[in-house]
Amino acid sequence: MKIEKQIRNHIMKTVHTTVRVFRMNGELLDYHGDNRDDDAIVKDDDLWDTLLKQTKEEYPYIYQDFYPVYFITMRKEDHLYVIGPVSCDYTVNKTERNHTIGEYFSRKHHLQEVNRKISFCDIQTFAREGLLLFNVLHDKDMTLSQLLTYNYNTDLESAVKKELNQIYFRYQESEKLHNPYDQEVRELDSIREGNTENLIKAMDEEFEGEYATLSRDPLRSMKNLAIVSMALTCRAAIDGGMMPEEAFSLNDSYILRIDSAVNIMQIVAIGRKAKLEYAGLVHEKKMMRQNNRIIEEAKNLLFKQMHGKIIIRDIARELSITPEYLSSLFKKMEGIPISAYIFRKKIGLAENLLKYSNYSIEEISYYLGFCSQSHFGKHFKKINQMTPKKYREKFGVKEFFAD
């Protein structure tokens, strides 16, 4: 099929790797790529036999040659399609034997070109390109999720059960348990509440259990534990009121620092600092919400008393806080002193009365709680750059003042 060949050529150019078509007897029918005479599938009978045996017609097969090098294979009738190799981890440049990826690949598969270049492609993109060809060949619409399920679930389930039995046995032999769940809950609740004092107490608790082993490498295991803990911490902080994007960004930063740590004590210190920072930020958010509530309630009380003399001490008493705290909080949240806010609101009411009523300026000044007409005029002019009389002459609705 012409479209099928175009797709094979597209994959070769997109992923920068080889695409081959064989008969099941090993006959090479088509080849997209370089090094046709020095190809791993052709030169290495063991690799060919493995792919032939493992590949089924129902779904594409993702074959890990060695980490991080992969192939994708698929079957249709008596044809076998092989795509690869690609490296799916750009951070890995050498194997455990200290060979480069390309050198080890060539040695393993008896190739002449020693320093062969293996192109990089993330595993999801590689899988999607393989799916494109498979779906055309079989007229299907298999998804990436289905492909990964077919390839990994059976082996993964078996491996998990085997490992689980080993873990149970190990803990029974040592008579040790995991760290207590309720201690973890106390930490997360403290973060959720923004309570750094309780968080420190929870982190400093002693318990008989031990942390889980999440890698055979002790340093990697501790990093994995810290990353899991960071995920839980981040979500507890979001529950406590942090904006998700803010919390996730901070989480990413701490995880990168954990991943680059060089010893276990450094990981513990980073994790502890992260939890305390999250708890502190949650506390700030809660205080801000509480402060906003106090300010809104204060404004409502001020508005109700705007037509008379306002005593800040009385407003603070209504809110069950001190006058000093109310004044300080108002300045912090609104950017102006509470007295300036009161004068602005009173002058705003005075402007309306001057425009739309026939009350005298003296009556307006006393109505709004100013101690004298001159005191009222002073504050009015400070805000409007004109006297109340000039303001009424300029903006007042004339029908209110007609004889």
Indicate the domain borders of the chain.
2-142, 149-175, 181-285
pLDDT at position 207: 59
Entry pTM: 0.45
- Is the pLDDT reported for residue 290 higher than 90? no
Region of poorest pLDDT, from 57-66, 263-272, 303-312: 303-312
pLDDT band at 233 (very low <50, low <70, confident <90, very high): very high
pLDDT at position 21: 96
pLDDT at position 106: 92
Choose among 57, 59, 38, 130: nearest CA to 88.
Answer: 130
pLDDT at position 153: 57
* Angle in degrees, CA 356, 360, 362, rounded to 5: 130
pLDDT digits (tens, 9 = 90+) for 57-95: 899 999 999 888 999 999 999 999 999 999 988 777 887
pLDDT at position 175: 46
Choose among 34, 20, 12, 24: nearest CA to 56.
Answer: 24
CB 131 within 8 A of CB 60: yes
pLDDT at position 208: 53
Instruction: Find the mean pLDDT for residues 211-240.
Output: 86
Contacts of 32 (CB under 8 A, 6+ apart): 8, 9, 11, 12, 18, 19, 20
pLDDT at position 398: 64
Q: Residues in the chain, how many? A: 403
Rounded Cα–Cα distance for residues 311 and 331 (Å): 17
- Is the pLDDT reported for residue 402 higher than 80? no
Q: Is 191 exposed, middle or buried (0-12, 13-18, 19+ CB in 10 A)?
A: buried
pLDDT digits (tens, 9 = 90+) for 351-389: 988 988 888 999 898 888 888 898 889 989 988 999 999
Residue with tokens 């102006």: 336
Rounded Cα–Cα distance for residues 184 and 178 (Å): 11
Count other C-beta atoms under 10 Å from residue 125's C-beta: 14
- Is the pLDDT reported for residue 11 higher than 60? yes
pLDDT at position 212: 66
pLDDT at position 70: 93
Amino acid symbol at 130: G
Q: Is 175 exposed, middle or buried (0-12, 13-18, 19+ CB in 10 A)?
A: exposed
Instruction: Find the mean pLDDT for residues 290-303.
Output: 83
pLDDT at position 18: 94
CB 226 within 8 A of CB 192: no
Q: Please, what CATH class does the domain formed by 2-142 belong to? A: alpha beta
pLDDT digits (tens, 9 = 90+) for 120-168: 888 888 989 999 999 999 999 998 888 887 886 555 444 444 544 554 4
pLDDT at position 403: 45
Instruction: Find the mean pLDDT for residues 259-288.
Output: 88
pLDDT digits (tens, 9 = 90+) for 319-359: 888 989 888 888 888 888 888 888 888 888 889 889 888 88
pLDDT band at 202 (very low <50, low <70, confident <90, very high): confident
Contacts of 39 (CB under 8 A, 6+ apart): 18, 20, 31, 111
Instruction: Find the mean pLDDT for residues 16-33.
Output: 94
pLDDT at position 305: 80
Instruction: Find the mean pLDDT for residues 45-67.
Output: 92
pLDDT at position 1: 65
Rounded Cα–Cα distance for residues 351 and 346 (Å): 9
Average pLDDT value over all residues in the chain: 85
